[in-house]
Every structure is written in C-alpha cells, then in structure tokens.
Structure 1
Amino acid sequence: MNFWTRRWFRTLPNYYLVLGGLILVTLLRAWRSGLPDTLPDGGTLARYFIFIQNFAQPVPNFFPETWSLAIEEWSYITLPLLLWVLHSTLSNRLSRQRIVLLTILTVIIGTNLYRFIIALQIPISAGEVEFRGMVTTRLDAISYGVLGAYCRHYFPTYWTNDGLRRRLLVVGLILTMLTALSSSVVALYFYHKLGIQPAYTFYKRTFYFLITGVNMALLLPFMDGWRTPSRQWTQLGITRFVTHISLISYSMYLLNLTPVMLNVIERIPTTSATVGWLKVGFFWGVVLVLSTLLYKFFEKPVTELRERLSAKEPTQLISERVNERMSE
C-alpha cells in the first residue's frame, strides 16, 4: 500500500488533470461550433479513468498516447500483488531473494508465452502494430527494469564492477543497434522483396519485445553509475538542461501529442517549408513551457503530498551492500 500510495501520487493527479482538460476543451469546442463533440462514447471514455482503454484491445483515437501509461499502471498493480501471493504461499520453502526473482520471471515468461499464443491465433495479415500497445501483450515491459533492480540489490559487487559495466554497455549498444536496424523501414523493404515479411511480422509480435527489454536492461548498470557530469557540461548548462528535462518529462509525455500537437499545432496550416519549420519550433517551445508550468505548479506540489501520507521507501547504499557481502 505504501508503494502504491507513493507511485500513484506521482502519476495519477497529472494524468487526470490533463485527461479532464482534454474532455473539457473538446466539449467547449463543440459548444462553440454547434457541432457534435468528438469524444468517444461514455463506456469508452470511462475506461480511460481506470486504465483499461487498451487492456485487451487497441487504444481508441482519443488520447492515444496513454497506451504506455496504462501498461505502466497495470504493472504497478500486478507485480506487487503477485509478489505478495508468492511470498504468502512459498515463504516457508523459498528465500525472499528467490521469491522476488520468481515473481519477475513469472511476469516476463508468462507475458512472452501469452504473446506467442496470441500471435499464432491472429492472421499474419493483421500486422504487428497492435501488439505494441495492449496491456495484456506488454505486461512484461517494466519487469526488465525490475530485473535490473533485483541484480543491483542482490549482486552489488557485480553491479558496481566498472569492467563488467563497460562490457555490458558495449553488448547492449550493439544489440540495440542491430535490433533497431533489423526493424527499420529499409529492412522492411528487403523483407518484402525476399518474401520473408510474414516471419518478420511474427518476430515483431513476439521475440522483439523480449530482445528490446533485455537490451535496455544491459545498459542499466553503466547508466546507474554515470552520475558525475563533466565540468565543461556544467559550464555550458547542459547538465542543468538535462536535469530539467528529466524532471518535466512526465508532463511532456502527457502534453506533447494530443493537447499540443493535435489540438494546437496541426490546426495551423502549413503553407510553406518555412512555416513548417516555424511550427516545429513553436511546438517544442509550447511543450517545454507548458510542461515546466505543469510540473512546477501542479505535479511537484501534489507529488510532495505523499510525504505526509506514506513512509519514505527504504533505501540502502550499494557500498553498504558491498561491505556486507565482503564481510560474509
């Protein structure tokens, strides 16, 4: 409950504020024009409030970017519940460490098996795009990061080993580039020309997500240790800019597509290349300014309320874990 309180104070208020704002703007625009509103039906709209807009079906056109947030929220529900169930039933037979690993692997393996079975049942002609954006087919997405956290906590000497970090980084970058190239539009042309596009489609429905998750997990040890910025970056303001973007990134995620791009930018006619580039600059300016304001005056104050309603999550320095393992 403490985890859910802290996590949902971080994600839900901002989401509901932007969702409510979009609904209000759509209704006001319909009222001013005298035309019917473009909102989905009541049942579909209600799904957005409990994050089932794309639970087992593609996300509707209204606020479509929230497909990934729904996957995230359901991961926050299923992972702790599964951990609790396994701990309640297996704590007498397995150690806590093994129960945690079993929980993570159950989600990863279970989701991949489900994707594989569904991929066999749906005709190849239906494509692979819908597999990317449904909760039931992507429930493992966050688990690769949780697997990284598991390794960080239980194997700190390996996690902080500089040589191992660099090797994993190189392997992760190479695999990421190969995965990206194999999924590019150029590669898709050759798959079609060689007559192997059905196999590619099946791959994109199934193993592609597993490989991508593993690739990202391999980068985590190095990125986790990359904390001290260079003096030159600090002097140029790059460090401050990157830090600011990281703070407002959730607000940017909620605002950039439907609220700004679809409701503002795309309503401006593109009459020339110059106007097109001006629209690009205007888009980024509006997104950065609105996201900063949303973070400063709403997201940050509301997130800080959780300190009054929950206990701070326990933390343990890696150095302490290293010393503990060395003493053992």
Structure 2
Amino acid sequence: MNNTKQLNAKRFFGLDLLRVLAVSMILFSHTSWIYNSNGILGKLQDISGFLGIELFIVLSGFLIGGILYKQFLSGSYTLKEASIFVYRRLLRLLPTYYLVILINTVIFISFGFSISGIWKYFLLLQNFASPVSSFFPESWSLPVKEIGYIFLVFLLLIFSNLFIKASKKIVFLSVTVGFMILLFFLKINYDIFSTNLDLRLWSFNVRSVVIYRIDSVLIGVLFGCFYQNYKEFVLSKRTLFLSVGILLFLMLLLCVVVFKFRLTNASWFWNILCLPLVSLAICMFFPFLLHLERPSEAIGNLISFVCRISYSVYLLHYSCILFLLKYLIDTTNFSIWQLNLFTILYLLITVSSSYLLYTYFEKPINEYRTKTFKLNGR
C-alpha cells in the first residue's frame, strides 16, 4: 500500500460529458428562481435539478470507489493508510469549500440573516440527520459523498483487522453491502414513523439528508468495484447495460406517471426504493459512456474546461451569485426578454467567477496536494 500511487487514470470523455450534463442541469434547475417557473417548465427544472445532483453523487461513488477498492487490495491497509486516503480527499475539496462558506457568511451578515449553526458546515454535519438550513443549502450533497467515504474507509479498516485471513475482495464487498443494509433499515424506520405527505418536504427530509443518501454513493462504489473486476465484460456488454438503465428509468416513470405513486398511497416507494433505483439506473449508463470517444478536439477541450471549473460552479452559482443578483436587481416587472438577459448575465458571472476561483485558488491547492503526496511517494 505504501508504494501504491494515487490513481490518476486517463480521463474518459463520456464521464466528463456526464459531469458537464450534470452541472448544466443544476444551473437550469436554479433558473426557476429567475423565471418563477410553473407548469411543464417548472416540472422540467425540478427534474433537471434532481437528476443533476444524482449524477454527481453516483459518478463520484463510481470513481472514488474504484480508487479505494484498488488501494484496499494492493497491500497492507493500516490506520495510517486509511487516514491518508481521507486526508487526500478532504484536501482536494475542503479549502475551496471553506472559502465559499466564509464568502456566504459575509453575504448573509450583510443582509442581516442568521448564521446560527454555521459550525456544522465546517464539519460537514449541516444535514447529517436533519434537513440543511437556508444558509448555503446547495451544499447538502457534499457531506453525503464525503461522510459516506469516511465511514466506508474506516469500516474497511476495522473489519480488515478483525478478519485478517479473509479475502480482501470479500471483506470489501461484505462491508459495503452490510453498510447499505444498515442504511436500508434506517429508511424503513423513517417510512414507518414519518407522516410527511409532501414531496417538497420529502426532498428536504430524505433526499437531502446524509444518513438516508449514503446508499446512493455506495451503489456507485459497488459498480466501481464490479468494473475493476470485470472491465472487459462490462465494456463488451455496454449496450445491454444501457438498455437496462433506460428500462429502469422507464419503470420509475411508469410508477410515478401511470400508477401515480405518491407519498399518500406509496410512501415506501419514495422513502425506500426510489433513490437507490435512480442510482442503479445511472450506473447502467457508465459502460456506454466509458467507451465514448470525443468527437473533436474543440468539443473535447470545451468539455474539459467545464469539468475543471465544475466544482467551483457548484459552490458559487446559487448562494453567492444568484442570491446576490436577485437581491441587487429587482426582476419583478421584467419582461421575458429582460429575464433572458438577466439569465445570460447570471451564467456569464457564474462561469467567469468559477474560472477565477479555480485558477487562483482551487488549482494551486490541488497542485500543492499532488506535489506533496508525490514527494512522499503516495
């Protein structure tokens, strides 16, 4: 394990394309605050935001899970190695995240809003077992992923030391599946005792709460593990996997649109099955995307650019930029063309600010991180 290099595998155009799709869907969904969308457009924006975040969560699980799986199998797995894995991951994300928390704090104080409980954000506990507050609400998905990885890394450490003679592959699979089963029972418990009958509240109370969402990360992790073991099979059957993914999405659509599953008549569907099935369906698209080639250098460069700044876009686009624009510019009586221009302004500021944040803060820290671990042979 000590000689294992961090996996910097070649970038896959299809997965980068998926990242770009995800961030575009999230930006599109938040324009509902600009247009006050209702009807079909409003529903499309809601679905877009929902799927955009799910894509990020499952894709992250797939990629980080594959790295963790390889490192777990490669040699001794000690407390030091587990801690380094977590440290590398957090050093990649937390500095920029903390900077944006401070920016949001200044904005909230300037407008006279409360920042009580802000300490939870620094510990990634803002939505561990309860809904995230109105301060930096879009940050909810970051704790879902990172706390999921932290728990998994140290659970693997504990059980690998308890079962020293067991196959590491079996330990990895058993711990991950066992963790998922525990989370499954937490969802069952929520469904039994919850009286919530509103999907918007469901989005805050279930979809955005860490203990009910780590399973989506773990589904991505398991598929990353499966891919590492059966690469040739996965890629050769990519059309089959794609078909299964499409069928799963159609099945979910059938349940919601045709059979009209609602919290009032099928709470078990929403509270227990819906989100894991969406995660599984997303995984089924990965083999096809892994085999996808970039159509041209220009398109490839554009996709790569958006991918590089995507984390900064995620952190800045809503609470920092859109919040300020909406409060500084009264759009109440704007015509549709004025709203369109406002949206273009919002997107331009988001992209340019994210580029600056990435170039002058996120990128230097990542370069320092890479250099530091290379010097230490990790």
The two structures have a TM-score, normalised by structure 1, of: 0.82
Are 2:88 and 1:6 equivalent residues in the alignment?
yes
Q: Structure 1 residues 151, 135: CA separation in 2 closer, same or farther (over 3 Å shift)?
A: same
* Counterpart among 115, 119, 123 of residue 46 in structure 1: 119
Give the distance between the partners of 1:286 and 1:211, measured in 2 at CA: 36
Aligned to 1:95: 167
Give the distance between the partners of 2:323 and 2:255, measured in 1 at CA: 31
Show CA shifts across 1:5-29 (max 9, x none). Answer: 22112110110011111112333x2
**1:181-200 maps to which residues of 2 (within 5 A)?**
182-183=255-256, 187=257, 191=260, 197-200=263-266
Tell me which of the two structures has the higher relative contact order, counting C-alpha pairs closer than 8 angstroms and 6 or more residues apart.
2
Report the CA distance between 1:311 and its aligned residue.
4.9
Are 2:354 and 1:291 equivalent residues in the alignment?
yes
* Counterpart among 177, 184, 191 of residue 105 in structure 1: 177
RMSD across aligned positions (CA):
2.3
Q: Structure 1 residues 203, 267: CA separation in 2 closer, same or farther (over 3 Å shift)?
A: farther
* Counterpart among 98, 101, 104 of residue 22 in structure 1: 104
Check whether the contact 2:191–2:271 (CA below 8 A) recurs between aligned residues.
Answer: yes
Aligned to 1:57: 130
Give the distance between the partners of 1:225 and 1:257, measured in 2 at CA: 33
Q: Structure 1 residues 216, 313: CA separation in 2 closer, same or farther (over 3 Å shift)?
A: farther
Aligned to 1:224: 290
Give the structure with higher Rg (CA). Answer: 1
Aligned to 1:79: 152
Q: Structure 1 residues 266, 200: CA separation in 2 closer, same or farther (over 3 Å shift)?
A: farther
Aligned AA (2:288): F
Q: After the TM superposition, which of the residue ranges 52-61 and 198-207 deviates more from structure 2?
A: 198-207
Aligned to 1:149: 224
* Counterpart among 322, 330, 335 of residue 261 in structure 1: 322
Q: Structure 1 residues 181, 24: CA separation in 2 closer, same or farther (over 3 Å shift)?
A: farther
Aligned to 1:138: 213
Give the distance between the partners of 1:110 and 1:225, measured in 2 at CA: 34
Report the CA distance between 1:239 and its aligned residue.
1.9
Aligned AA (2:365): V
Report the CA distance between 1:181 and its aligned residue.
6.1
Give the distance between the partners of 1:197 and 1:114, measured in 2 at CA: 18
Q: Structure 1 residues 55, 18: CA separation in 2 closer, same or farther (over 3 Å shift)?
A: same
Give the distance between the partners of 2:367 and 2:96, measured in 1 at CA: 13
Aligned to 2:303: 242
Aligned AA (1:152): Y
Give the distance between the partners of 1:68 and 1:181, measured in 2 at CA: 27
Consecutive unaligned residues in structure 2, runs of 5 or more: 1-82
Aligned AA (1:109): I
Give the distance between the partners of 2:250 and 2:95, measured in 1 at CA: 36
Runs of 4 or more above 3 Å deviation: 124-127, 180-183, 311-315
Check whether the contact 1:132–1:138 (CA below 8 A) recurs between aligned residues.
Answer: yes
The two structures have a TM-score, normalised by structure 2, of: 0.72
Q: What percentage of aligned pairs have identical amino acids? A: 25
Q: Indicate the SS of the match to 1:229.
A: coil
Show CA shifts across 1:189-236 (max 9, x none). Answer: x738xxx6523433111100110111112122222232x312xx33xx
Show CA shifts across 1:90-148 (max 9, x none). Answer: 232x2011111112212222212211111111114365221001111112121112112
Give the distance between the partners of 1:38 and 1:105, measured in 2 at CA: 42
Aligned length: 291
**1:148-187 maps to which residues of 2 (within 5 A)?**
148-161=223-236, 164-180=237-253, 182-183=255-256, 187=257
Q: Structure 1 residues 313, 202: CA separation in 2 closer, same or farther (over 3 Å shift)?
A: farther
Aligned to 2:189: 117
Check whether the contact 1:107–1:139 (CA below 8 A) recurs between aligned residues.
Answer: no
Consecutive unaligned residues in structure 1, runs of 5 or more: 31-36, 316-328
Q: Indicate the SS of the match to 1:306.
A: helix
Q: Structure 1 residues 267, 203: CA separation in 2 closer, same or farther (over 3 Å shift)?
A: farther
Q: After the TM superposition, which of the residue ranges 204-213 and 152-161 deviates more from structure 2?
A: 152-161
Aligned to 2:140: 67
